[in-house]
Amino acid sequence: MSTSWFAIILTSVAALGLTLLPLPQGLQIHNPQWLLLTVIFWALYRPAQAGLVYAWCAGLLVDIAVNGLLGLNALLFTLTVFLVLSLRHRLAVAPLLSQALLISGFTLLYLVVALWVEGVATDVVSMATYLSRAVSNLAAWPIIYFVLSRLTTIRPMR
């Protein structure tokens, strides 16, 4: 059974809402990247419906929503999904902890590149607190996996 576009768009909008949820300043920097994790999930388990174009559009939505550097998140979402798609057959059958660690590594790479670009532009970001999002993404991956896997039937890779 194929996942409908409606489910993908609905979960993406919900993840964008969680990403933009206003939190106290001390907690905001540790907020997981819900939309990125959702995009990774759909690209991993439904690559025909959610591939690089979907990742680019989701990243562009984040750029517009946070009034950031236009195209930065779109490019980084696309590159992250490209990495996920290139390792999809190994990653999809890996245990959940291994998936979480590898996806945390992907998001760490995403954060380092974003820090490099934003650091050149603003030079006010603290590296340790900014990169702590990789740890929060590590903790959030099982939540994303269990919630979204209940919406669709995940079958083993062929």
Nearest to 127 by CA among 137, 138, 117, 112: 112
The pLDDT assigned to 158 comes to: 46
CA distances from 86 to 8, 62, 82, 139, 156 (A): 21, 24, 6, 23, 17
Single-letter residue type at 132: S
How does pLDDT run across 31-63, given as a tens digit for each residue?
899 999 999 999 999 999 999 999 999 999 999
The pLDDT assigned to 117 comes to: 83
| Mean pLDDT over the full length of the chain | 87
How does pLDDT run across 113-142, given as a tens digit for each residue?
888 887 765 555 567 777 788 899 999 999
The pLDDT assigned to 1 comes to: 43
The pLDDT assigned to 69 comes to: 87
Architecture in CATH for domain 5-151: Orthogonal Bundle (1.10)
Among 91-95, 134-138, 149-153, whose mean pLDDT is lowest? 149-153
- Where do the domains of the chain lie? 5-151
C-alpha–C-alpha distance, residues 132 and 149, integer Å: 26
Q: Per-residue pLDDT averaged across 95-101, rounded?
A: 93
- 130/67: higher pLDDT: 67
Q: What is the 3-state secondary structure (H, E, C) of 79-148?
A: HHHHHHHHCHHHHCCCCHHHHHHHHHHHHHHHHHHHHHHHHHHCCCCCHHHHHCHHHHHHHHHHHHHHHH
* % of the chain with per-residue pLDDT over 90: 62
Q: Per-residue pLDDT averaged across 146-153, rounded?
A: 85
The pLDDT assigned to 46 comes to: 92
C-alpha–C-alpha distance, residues 147 and 116, integer Å: 32
Please provide the size of the chain in residues: 158
